[in-house]
Structure 1
């Protein structure tokens, strides 16, 4: 029906045009066709001569891919890309959370680089790697001699079926493991329920399955009596616009999702939600510098409709969207086809989403998200390699230091617990934690002693000293374990 209607429109349109106009159109069309034919002939001629005469013996396919890449590069748009036929699935797989890897995450503490998260059913789990294992050597290179980027390079860039030797330290025992790279489906959505009935949903990518998994997570949390929600979009580089809109439909019945600006249209056009559902609960949305595109679209929607408090750092600033088009002749074209604005028509491209509460750091941002939802009790349990918050294990290590009988933690962590701002004055060597109720400066010593000290660029504050500023904070310690308790009742 659609194709027939289109044909009718094309056939009927010339009937209302005067003969002179029609003739003019015909002449222009013929001229245009001749120009296109000449350009196509010139392209084919150069392609044929280069493939025939050049000393390199480059094939026509190789030269054609280079020519197509040149067209894309001429637009000076980092988001418009041409994928050769052999790489056409790369973008789709990345959006859908699928890539070749081993299936574990690393973290660093004073003792070295260790495994802080392993995904189920992956080569890492099957090969015997465990959370808490320290990496001594990877691919024959000592980890202690490698920067974080260099270590990532050693571990990445492998093909499915490649293997790598990893020497680990588990307790006092050294083990040599051999792991084989495989295509891994990484998590798209995960969820938990914190004490205090605060739901937590992390969306890693806006793939086609993300909305279904988000809906299941939401339903499960609601069945457990969730009274508020955190949506974590940190490090989420985006995905499909339609999926971001589907997620937004869980929070509002009717309203503008975003505005889109397309070629040839003078005014931004609204994209509306018309049959959504109101969650009716307090919500925090967490973002960071790597939250981009569809993540920013969702965060901007929640912010402009005052449906959530946005917490974290300013987002990436990708306010344009692309169409992904499989080419009939082979390969894939990803082309920027529109710019989008938030419901209040705020520009996002090269600007980003500004959070309502600005805070950096993995654990610090999560704590501010929990506290913004008025959690009454907060318990942070810290060990060498594990962190628990209100009995939920977190894939992040929070360091602390025991000096004599005193315990020190990073000043940024304490500022997050106090819902405070933190300021550093290099001239006076004072770190100030400023909240609504108090403003305390801690003189930072270069020696590991006193109320605070500076080590490796981090300000460490003694818990006893900070407890005087935040009386609702208490703590207990046993050996290499530290528990910080905060009461807001």
Structure 2
């Protein structure tokens, strides 16, 4: 009988000893941390601010985990809350930090950065001639923000350009117009979604209603433009997906602890009533944009056209620290309805079309997989979960993957004449509409 009891007892004892050893190691490391702080406070060449010292240490701990975990002091936390509501001050650039470099994820439409030609993948190396190399992301963002009408010069390193580019800008109060819409030829609607702020879902529904009225009550198809959309709120991504999918899973998240994993399903009605849908994506489409793209692709509700998306398949939880800002912590990976994790992989479009003839050169981390401390892709089914599409219109095979020689350079003021990807999307959605009409007759 003693032998029967001894097994579990030894197991419990071993576990307790391991926990004690772990606590002892932690206490020792905290002692080292305290010693370092004290040495810096007493011997650093200049006096240091205790609060700034500790905040830097906290931020270093979090940013060392992955590219999206970070600490926000009270001011940065307030700025983030303002931005998710759709209005903030600055230049209009979504940026990330990689290996000590500040990289542009995407410019925001109709902002100083977008009008000046800032591009996804640009590396901002200096502000007003002062280097940003090694400057923490939050500090860099603070430096780019400032009073409206104040001037600033960005020094940018760009793919395929040998010399740094100096970009003079004037700061503005950024009023995010997250939804833009217009009619395309043939009773085809166009909706551009620039970010997933609190207004995204409501704005999309209203845009579709307006387009239907312009089309005489019914749209023959829709192009949803998610290019250079860096993401935003998860609940808005779920709501926008539900605007086109009647039922079924939209996205699921898997956390460290199984009890914390979640799943979101579609609820509502397809606002297009089954009309054809083409979604435009590119390397600046990230996070919430990839949730929507992945759900629509898995459900075969839309045809994706463009280039592979950014590949940010992780969920960040903002945890307030009362009186001391908040921490943004990566708490889960998200998965498409078919079980794909697109973390560091991205969404591959059904029809690949590049925006220009130039082949992009790899520089500075163009996608999630290029970032420092990138979270691994784990637990998903991989791209093999999706069988080849058999529902694409025949014309899909004739769509060129890049513009022809002599095609004009993209001009945002003349998209109908210079946006090659949009023109190919229009060709595809028209063919889908004609196919649907023929099958109904």
Compared CA separation, residues 257 and 158, structure 1 to 2 (3 A): closer
Q: 1:163 aligns with which of 121, 126, 150?
A: 150
Specify the alignment match of 2:435 in structure 1: none
> Following the alignment from structure 1 to structure 2, what is the Cα–Cα distance between the partners of residues 191 and 415?
16
> Following the alignment from structure 1 to structure 2, what is the Cα–Cα distance between the partners of residues 183 and 21?
62
> Following the alignment from structure 1 to structure 2, what is the Cα–Cα distance between the partners of residues 413 and 232?
10
Specify the alignment match of 1:340 in structure 2: 334
Specify the alignment match of 2:277 in structure 1: 283
Specify the alignment match of 1:408 in structure 2: none
Are residue 62 (structure 1) and residue 82 (structure 2) matched? no
Q: 1:265 aligns with which of 248, 255, 258?
A: 258
Q: 1:186 aligns with which of 176, 180, 191?
A: 176
TM-score (ref. length: structure 1): 0.54
> Following the alignment from structure 1 to structure 2, what is the Cα–Cα distance between the partners of residues 238 and 418?
24
Cα deviations across residues 394-422 of structure 1 (Å, max 9, x unaligned)? 458739xxxxxxxxxxxx799959979xx
Q: Report if the CA contact (8 A) 2:245-2:296 is conserved.
A: no
Compared CA separation, residues 101 and 268, structure 1 to 2 (3 A): closer
Q: Which has the larger radius of gyration?
A: 1
If each structure's strand is expressed as a fraction of its own residues, which one has the higher value? 1
Q: 1:79 aligns with which of 62, 68, 73?
A: 68
Q: CA deviation at 1:194?
A: 1.7
> Following the alignment from structure 1 to structure 2, what is the Cα–Cα distance between the partners of residues 102 and 41?
43
Q: 1:100 aligns with which of 68, 89, 93?
A: 89
Q: CA deviation at 1:87?
A: 2.5
Are residue 323 (structure 1) and residue 310 (structure 2) matched? no
Count of residue pairs brought into register by the alignment: 325
Q: CA deviation at 1:281?
A: 1.2
Compared CA separation, residues 386 and 338, structure 1 to 2 (3 A): closer
Specify the alignment match of 1:249 in structure 2: 242
Cα deviations across residues 50-89 of structure 1 (Å, max 9, x unaligned)? 32343321121121012112212432x1111222333234
Q: Report if the CA contact (8 A) 1:303-1:310 is conserved.
A: yes
Q: Report if the CA contact (8 A) 1:188-1:204 is conserved.
A: yes
Q: CA deviation at 1:240?
A: 1.0
SS of residue in 1 equivalent to 2:196: coil
Q: CA deviation at 1:349?
A: 1.0
Q: Report if the CA contact (8 A) 2:55-2:73 is conserved.
A: yes
Bigger relative contact order, structure 1 or 2, given CA contacts below 8 A and separation 6+? 2
Structure 2, unaligned stretches of length 5 or more?
A: 1-9, 94-107, 117-121, 130-142, 154-167, 358-391, 397-406, 429-441
If each structure's helix is expressed as a fraction of its own residues, which one has the higher value? 2
Are residue 200 (structure 1) and residue 200 (structure 2) matched? no
TM-score (ref. length: structure 2): 0.60
Compared CA separation, residues 414 and 55, structure 1 to 2 (3 A): closer
> Following the alignment from structure 1 to structure 2, what is the Cα–Cα distance between the partners of residues 245 and 414?
25
Specify the alignment match of 1:300 in structure 2: 294
Are residue 237 (structure 1) and residue 213 (structure 2) matched? no
Listed as ranges, the matches of 1:297-446 within 5 Å are 297-361=291-355, 394-395=414-415, 398=418, 416=424
Compared CA separation, residues 68 and 252, structure 1 to 2 (3 A): same
Q: Report if the CA contact (8 A) 1:362-1:396 is conserved.
A: no
Structure 1, unaligned stretches of length 5 or more?
A: 1-19, 105-116, 125-130, 136-147, 167-177, 373-382, 400-411, 421-489
> Following the alignment from structure 2 to structure 1, what is the Cα–Cα distance between the partners of residues 16 and 148?
59
Greater shift in the superposed pair: 260-269 or 302-311: 260-269
Q: CA RMSD in A?
A: 4.9
Cα deviations across residues 172-193 of structure 1 (Å, max 9, x unaligned)? xxxxxx9963321131111111
Cα deviations across residues 116-146 of structure 1 (Å, max 9, x unaligned)? x995xx899xxxxxx9xxx9xxxxxxxxxxx
